[in-house]
Chain A
Amino acid sequence: MPQQQAILETRGIHKQFPGVNALTDVDFRLFPGEVHALMGENGAGKSTLIKVLTGVYQADAGTVLLGGTPVRFTGPLQAQQAGVSTVYQEVNLCPNLSVAENICIGREHRTAGLIRWGSDRQRARDLLERFQLDLDVTAPLGSCSLAVQQLVAIVRAVAVSTKVLILDEPTSSLDADEVEQLFGVIRQLRAEGVAILFVSHFIDQIYAVSDRVTVLRNGTLVCEEPIDRLPHLELVKRMIGKELEVLEQLGDAAPRRAGTADSTEAPVIAADQVGRRGSVAPFDLAIRRGEVVGLAGLLGSGRTEVARLLFGADRADAGRFTLSGKATTLRTPRAAIAGGIAFCSENRKTEGLIEDLTIRDNIILALQAARGWTRPLPARQREELVERYITALRISPPNPDMLVRNLSGGNQQRVLLARWLITQPRLLILDEPTRGIDIGAKAEIQRLVVSLSEEGMAVLFISAELEEVLRLSHRVAVLRDRKLVEERINDDDLTADAILRTIASGAHQ
Chain B
Amino acid sequence: MITWTRHRLFWPVMLLVLLLLSNLFFTPDFFSIQMKQGHLYGSLIDILHFGAPLILVSLGMTLVIATGGIDLSVGAVVSISGALACWTISQQSDQGSLGVVVMAVALSLGVTALLGAWNGLLVAGAGIQPIIATLILMVAGRGVAQLITDGQIITVNSSPYKVIGGGYLATLPFSILLVAIVVAATALLTRRTALGLLLESVGGNAEASRLVGIRSRGLIAMTYIVAGLCAGVAGLMISSNVSSADGNNAGLWIELDAILAVVIGGTSLLGGRFSLTGTVIGALIIQTLSTTIYTIGVPPETTLVVKAIVVMIVCLAQSPSFRAKVFRRPGFAPPAARPGEPGPDAAPAGPADPTETKAEVPA
Chain A residues within CB distance 8 Å of chain B: 311, 313, 333-334, 337-338, 343, 345, 350-357, 361, 364-366, 368-377, 399, 401-403, 405-406, 419
Contact = CB atoms under 8 A, between A and B. Distances in A.
B251 to A, nearest CB: 30
Contacts of A356: 200, 204, 272-273, 354, 357
Given A368-B197, A376-B193, A337 B213 contact: yes
Contact of B197 (A352, A361, A375, A399): A361
B210 interface: yes
Given A368-B194, A371-B194, A374-B194, 16 more contacts: A333-B211, A337-B213, A338-B213, A350-B208, A351-B207, A352-B211, A354-B208, A354-B209, A355-B204, A356-B272, A356-B354, A357-B204, A369-B209, A401-B361, A406-B361, A419-B212
A126 to B, nearest CB: 39
Contacts of B200: 354, 356-357, 361
A80 B193 CA distance: 57
Interface residues of B, number: 28
Contact of A354 (B201, B360, B362): B201
A401 B361 CA distance: 7
A491 B59 CA distance: 62
Q: Counting chain B CB atoms within 10 Å of each CB, which of A355, A365, A366 scores highest?
A: A365
A373 B358 contact: no
B214 interface: yes
B192 interface: yes
B107 interface: no
Contacts of B210: 313, 333
A47 B18 CA distance: 54
B198 interface: yes
A373 B219 contact: yes
B195 interface: yes
B211 A365 contact: no
B211 A345 contact: yes
A374 B212 contact: no
A333 B325 CA distance: 45
Contacts of B212: 333, 337, 365-366, 369, 419
Given A356-B357, A365-B212, A403-B361, A350 B207 contact: yes
- A-B complex: 8 closest residue pairs judged by Cβ atoms: A376-B194, A354-B204, A337-B213, A334-B213, A369-B214, A373-B195, A369-B213, A373-B194
16 contacts: A311-B211, A313-B211, A333-B211, A345-B211, A351-B211, A352-B208, A354-B208, A356-B200, A365-B214, A369-B209, A369-B215, A373-B194, A374-B193, A375-B194, A403-B357, A405-B354
A373 B198 contact: yes
Given A350-B207, A357-B200, A403-B357, A370 B213 contact: yes
Contacts of A334: 213, 215
Nearest to A375: B194
A402 B361 contact: yes
B171 interface: no
Q: Counting chain A CB atoms within 10 Å of each CB, which of B195, B197, B357, B358 scores highest?
A: B197
B194 A353 contact: no
B205 interface: yes
A112 B289 CA distance: 55
A406 B358 contact: yes
Contacts of A368: 194, 197-198
Given A366-B213, A369-B213, A357 B273 contact: yes
B211 A343 contact: yes
Contacts of B195: 373
Contacts of A376: 192-194, 197
Contacts of A374: 193-194
